[in-house]
């Protein structure tokens, strides 16, 4: 159920697409072509971009938040979707990941993104 909630949440954001570029078990969400969330369907986990200081703090606070699996561990966290981390926190972290990626887009893409709202 949480994965469907995550999917619906991601797809409400402007400029978001979903795909399976790494195989049928990894759902990838991109904003204007840049990844902000990867969901492992078979292993029940999500990778999210994070401010480096906050990434460390979240790992210290939650045992089920670990350095990003197959990602730059400074900027990405993996959150295990086993119910230990409240869904509302995961949805907040998705929002933050989306914002970090969207804010780093070139100015032209940010304008396009803003016009789509």
Give residue 116's pLDDT.
58
Confidence of residue 114 (pLDDT cuts 50, 70, 90): confident
| C-alpha separations of 45 from 2, 27, 38, 66, 106 in Å | 10, 11, 8, 10, 29
The string of pLDDT tens digits covering residues 15-51 is 999 999 999 999 999 999 999 999 999 999 999 999 9
Give residue 19's pLDDT.
98
User: What are the chain's domains?
Assistant: 2-106 (3.90.1150.30)
Give residue 117's pLDDT.
56
């Amino acid at each position: 159920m949480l994965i469907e909630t995550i999917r619906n949440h991601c797809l409400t954001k402007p400029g978001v697409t979903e795909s399976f570029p790494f195989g049928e078990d990894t759902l990838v969400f991109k904003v204007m072509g840049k990844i902000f969330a990867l969901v492992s369907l078979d292993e029940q986990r999500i990778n999210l971009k994070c401010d480096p200081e906050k990434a460390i703090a979240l790992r210290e606070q939650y045992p089920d938040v670990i350095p990003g699996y197959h990602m730059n561990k400074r900027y990405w966290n993996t959150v295990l979707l086993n119910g230990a981390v409240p869904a509302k926190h995961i949805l907040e972290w998705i929002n933050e990941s989306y914002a970090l990626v969207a804010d780093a887009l070139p100015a032209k893409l940010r304008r396009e993104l803003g016009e789509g709202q």
